[in-house]
Amino acid sequence: MSENRMPLENLRVIELGTLLAGPFSGRLLADFGAEVIKVEPPGKEDPMRNWGKSRDGVGLWWPIQSRNKKSITLNLRVKEGQEILKELVKEADIVIENFRPGTMEKWNLSYEELSEINPRLIMLRTSGFGQTGPYKDRAGFGSVGEAMGGLRYVTGFPDRPPSRIGVSIGDTLTALFATIGCLVAVHEREHSGKGQMVDTALYESVFSVMESIIPDYMLAGYVRERMGNILPGVAPSNIYFTEDKTFIVIGANADGVFRRLCEAMDQPGLAEDPRFSTHHARGENMKLLDSLIEDWTKKLSAKDALKILEEKGVPSGLMYTAKDIIEDPHYNEREMIIKVDHPQLGEFPMPGIVPKLSRTPGKVKNPGAESTGKHNHEIYENLLGFSKKRVGELREAKVI
Q: For residues 197 and 115, give the distance between their C-alpha atoms in angstroms, rounded to a whole number.
A: 9
Q: How far is CA 338 from CA 53, 333, 368, in A?
A: 19, 11, 15
Phi, psi of 111 (to 5 degrees): -60, -40
Q: In terms of residues, how long is the chain? A: 400
- 201: which strand partners? 127
Cis amide bond preceding 361, omega within 30: no
Using a 10 angstrom Cβ sphere, with 0-12 exposed, 13-18 middle and 19 or more buried, the burial of residue 387 is exposed
In the set 171, 199, 290, 341, the catalytic residue is: 171
Is 171 tagged catalytic?
A: yes
Strands 94-97, 122-127: pairing is: parallel
Using a 10 angstrom Cβ sphere, with 0-12 exposed, 13-18 middle and 19 or more buried, the burial of residue 388 is exposed
Phi, psi of 105 (to 5 degrees): -65, -40
At 321 the three-state DSSP class reads coil
Q: For residues 152 and 173, give the distance between their C-alpha atoms in angstroms, rounded to a whole number.
A: 14
Residue type, 138: R
Query: Would you name the residues annotated as active-site residues?
Result: 171
